[in-house]
Copies of this chain bind each other. A is one copy, B any other.
Amino acid sequence: MRYRINLCYDGSAFFGWQRQNDAPTVQQALEEALSTLLKEDTDVVGAGRTDTAVNASYYVAHFDSRDGLDCADLRRRLNAILPEQIAVLGIEAVQDEFHARFGAVSRTYRYYVHRTKNPFLRSGSYLCAYPVLDFEAMNRAAQLLVGRHDFSCFEKTGADNRTSICTIAEARWSRVDDGDDTRWVFTVTADRFLRNMVRAIVGTLIEVGRGKRSPESVADLLAKGDRCAAGESVPGYALYLSDIRYQP
């Protein structure tokens, strides 16, 4: 029987989702906890990699096990033994055809920035204290990314994907007013993402906001496909995988 598991994690303690030989990862923590509770070696298939320190406010994985697991009880017991950086939101039995990675039709990432030093935002948002940051210009540049394009210019150099073509459905900055301070969030949804792509896009858009490049220059970047011509990547701790959609 196949089970779907929805979870969230604070990435600060992990070297990303994907199991590694010599560094703690979310997949490893989850597989170890499940194997302990189910008393059998259990592999978990996740919706995709996330980089070191990157968070997921929503993540989907699946695993196969015996029929008739008590999902609510398993969730409670998993939350009790998983580290405090990982919380299981729900578990449910699904059809055998469900696949957390290959079945996903879109993923959404969010990147948070704030503008003035704030001790309470620093761990999950990126401080952009530049005197000028023109979000209107950044949104004009972001609009040029929407659609089906070759995103080689935002791909980590050395990656060997078969293709660098992705379709971005949405890319925009919006203001988040929460209590004492203002954050801005960049929301981007696509069918797939290349390694390092969101952080390279955000870094480039911030250079647009600072006036270091024009909004229109982003179209040239896409056309030329040269990673060195794009902006520097921003840090991973302010990035959140926040939604994954499947075929109904």
Contacts and interface: CB of A to CB of B under 8 A. Distances in A.
Nearest to A12: B119
A10 interface: yes
A79 B116 CA distance: 10
Contacts of A179: 178
A130 to B, nearest CB: 13
Residues of A contacting B: mostly: loop
A10 B85 contact: no
Contacts of A117: 79, 84, 87
A124 B117 CA distance: 18
Classify chain A: how many residues form its interface, as a range: 20 to 34
A12 to B, nearest CB: 9
Of A119, A124, A178, A180, chain B has the most CB atoms within 10 Å of the CB of A119
A180 B119 contact: no
A173 interface: no
A102 interface: no
A143 interface: no
Contacts of A200: none
B8 A119 contact: yes
